[in-house]
Amino acid sequence: GFLFGSTLISTLSAATMEWHMIQKDPREKMRLLRRYLRDNRVEPQVALPVEKQVLQRLSDREPLDEKDVLALRYLSAPLRAHLRFEVQRPFLTKHPLFRLWSSLDLQWMHTMCTQAVSFVALRPKDEVFAAGSAADVAHVLTSGDMEYWLHPETSPVDEVERIDVKHNQWICEAALWVKWIRLGRAEAVTRCSLLQVHADKMFSCLQCAFVINDIAVEYAVQFHKRVTSA
């Protein structure tokens, strides 16, 4: 017990030191940025906005990601998968298909959430995706404010349209079921968080669950019919 405790404390101390080394003094980061801009002779009309945005973002408190919580490394794989699912569940199960899958095979959902689902944190003006890009990820807005822009050049609208994305709203769900090109552009308005479901990784997980895979295939068929008839 004493040996294990000493080893655990030593490992945590080393990890903490590593974390502090990674998180350098913001002033040092700004010094290197200004040097980079100066060495590359970046014009002031570009350099000043760059410095301003970096300085602002350095002063913001970063939301904690799973990889930042060093103690989670000591969880068993099953318990860690269960924890991840519990964090993601409130958003995933708003969708009736994922809710059904959870009731049919919770263990499979744990695996799928570990392999195919992730969170991403965004700052104001961060672009989520651009119009005309191929979609291979579906998104759910979990916190903050985001807007979606449609332009006549890339979508069937007569004039530019701005749409406020609502919390728990799915964005580009089509990426999971059909080959899809994004018609609009999404951008963070405030600091926000998105849950992401990666289509290719989800499909890999489906190969191991025959009943759930059959449901997914039928859902995809109906989704495709609805899209093509719209």
pLDDT at residue number 7: 55
Pairwise CA distance, residues 91 & 94, whole Å: 6
Place of tokens 């903050």: 144
Neighbours of 32 (CB within 10 A): 11
Q: In the chain, how many H helices and how many E strands?
A: 8, 10
Place of tokens 């998968």: 81
| Crossing angle of helices 106-116 and 96-104, rounded to 10° | 130
pLDDT at residue number 185: 94
pLDDT at residue number 2: 46
pLDDT at residue number 1: 52
CB 180 within 8 A of CB 220: no
pTM: 0.74
Pairwise CA distance, residues 94 & 17, whole Å: 40
CB 111 within 8 A of CB 78: no
Going from the first residue of the chain to its last (230 residues), give the mean pLDDT of each consecutive group of 10, the final group possibly shorter. 52 56 68 85 85 74 75 88 93 95 95 95 92 94 94 90 93 94 93 95 94 95 90
